[in-house]
Structure 1
């Protein structure tokens, strides 16, 4: 279970320097937004769920010039950075709120885009809220991380102690099942595996700290990590060195699903064929 308050504080502290190290987050945001090329949708209102410093907002404005974009994040500091980003056709509405309790009316938006956010949420609650605020026929597109993410760091820590030091990540199939339970229609899931490399393990741990991606599990150790244990983790991580570099693996999960034309309880489920088009680069429907 994630300690949401600790996670929020981590991102508040990271807001001013987040963009310096968010290389992976920008890359997967770009890949997620490319998938909108295969979707026939003309949204009037778009929710960027977990907008962070607003990287995706400009791209959404350029793609959907008539749409109003709502940038929502649970860290106020992130939204302050988003307001400074500029270069937009018009400023987004910035809303500081939790994905598990969206302060939006039922059916208020046509499209939700969420990049690298859902791993910090209770999926059942977040998916229920996304279904609620999307209009019938609306689209939900997201990325999150799967269980092989940071597997080297997790294994290195396991050789030092038995505590929880790396946040857990759900399997793609479990995420898809959660979409079905929330009563989304036609969920489609796929995975990419990306790797960042570092000279030293401490460089990876520094980047995670700068991103605000702290260990926020309730099971985390509540004492400071001493130098001796950090040194032991670095030694254990050396087992993964290849061609002079240390890998940090990321299992990136992509998902999308539609809201039924008649929401659950309204007497049926239909998805217009006109809203679905093309195939993604990986061969799956997008």
Structure 2
């Protein structure tokens, strides 16, 4: 895997989501739907966490849902963008009677400001794709998880915004759309972090728009526009933008709408106290059966 494709400017990531905070809930339709599906997966898992960290908590909708589901648990809402956390605090006041203990922490998934073995669940909806070093992020998740703790997350796969990518390729070879890591490479990274029993799956969801500018506007409003380190610096010229929009028209469907396809990757794994000596040459990890009991 060529990691240079996924290098991000973290300052731009933070600033983009800070600017998006005020209008984020109005446009984050996909994030809300996938978050709901991620929460549903908890119905199949017997776990009563004492402490949960929601990484990339955004405006706090899923953090509030976790606090309602696991009453009495401590829920740590962590996000890189301070204004997102400000919105999350406002949400907390609106639904105070439903919530357990909550903390709001501004921090980076690749350098978590949390103690070792301090949480029973790491929950993350569409945050790990904003990590430049996935190995480092997963190592941090492993570090803060207790041995029987759960990691549950979503990310975008490489087929995300395929129509927009193809439209831009008709214009030039510059990087106009963020690159996302393949599901199998994410699974390999989970194994390297010695997280136990990793499971990955994916689905494709499509939003539709009346015009290509609608796609661009929503990406900007969500803070999800191009923040790759290899992006073109400076404004995109009007002529290039018009050329891209014309190329996008090839995807207009029978209903007269333009699709924006998202590859949604789901993953979960368990924290373990496996030492380096238990990782075999083929990359497999042998975990004692006693560690795999989930209550």
Alpha-carbon distance change, 72 to 45 in structure 1, aligned in 2, over 3 angstroms: same
SS in structure 1 of the partner of residue 198 of structure 2: strand
- Segments of structure 1 that go 5 or more residues without pairing to the other structure are 277-286
1:198 is matched with which residue? Answer: 209
1:226 aligns with 2:240: no
1:253 is matched with which residue? Answer: 265
2:32 is matched with which residue? Answer: 26
What is the root-mean-square deviation in Å for CA atoms of aligned residues?
1.4
Aligned-pair CA distance for 1:228? 1.2
Aligned-pair CA distance for 1:266? 8.5
In the alignment, is the contact (CA less than 8 A) between 1:143 and 1:254 conserved in 2?
Answer: yes
Q: Distance in 1 between matches of 2:52 and 2:269?
A: 15
Q: Distance in 1 between matches of 2:109 and 2:121?
A: 15
Alpha-carbon distance change, 67 to 254 in structure 1, aligned in 2, over 3 angstroms: same
1:55 aligns with 2:73: no
Q: Which runs of 4+ in 1 moved over 6 A?
A: none
TM-score between the two structures when normalised by the length of structure 2: 0.90
SS in structure 1 of the partner of residue 49 of structure 2: coil
Which of 80, 93, 109 in structure 1 is aligned with 2:86?
80
In the alignment, is the contact (CA less than 8 A) between 1:40 and 1:274 conserved in 2?
Answer: no
- Segments of structure 2 that go 5 or more residues without pairing to the other structure are 1-6, 279-285
Aligned-pair CA distance for 1:117? 0.5
In the alignment, is the contact (CA less than 8 A) between 1:79 and 1:96 conserved in 2?
Answer: yes
1:141 is matched with which residue? Answer: 152
Aligned-pair CA distance for 1:90? 3.7
Write out aligned runs for 1:1-286 (5 A): 1-86=7-92, 87=95, 88-90=98-100, 92-121=102-131, 122-242=133-253, 243-260=255-272, 262-265=273-276, 269-270=287-288, 272-275=291-294
Q: Distance in 2 between matches of 1:104 and 1:151?
A: 37
In the alignment, is the contact (CA less than 8 A) between 2:156 and 2:181 conserved in 1?
Answer: yes
In the alignment, is the contact (CA less than 8 A) between 2:156 and 2:180 conserved in 1?
Answer: yes
Q: Distance in 1 between matches of 2:293 and 2:107?
A: 33
How many residue pairs match? The answer is 275
In the alignment, is the contact (CA less than 8 A) between 1:83 and 1:91 conserved in 2?
Answer: no
Q: Distance in 2 between matches of 1:266 and 1:159?
A: 50
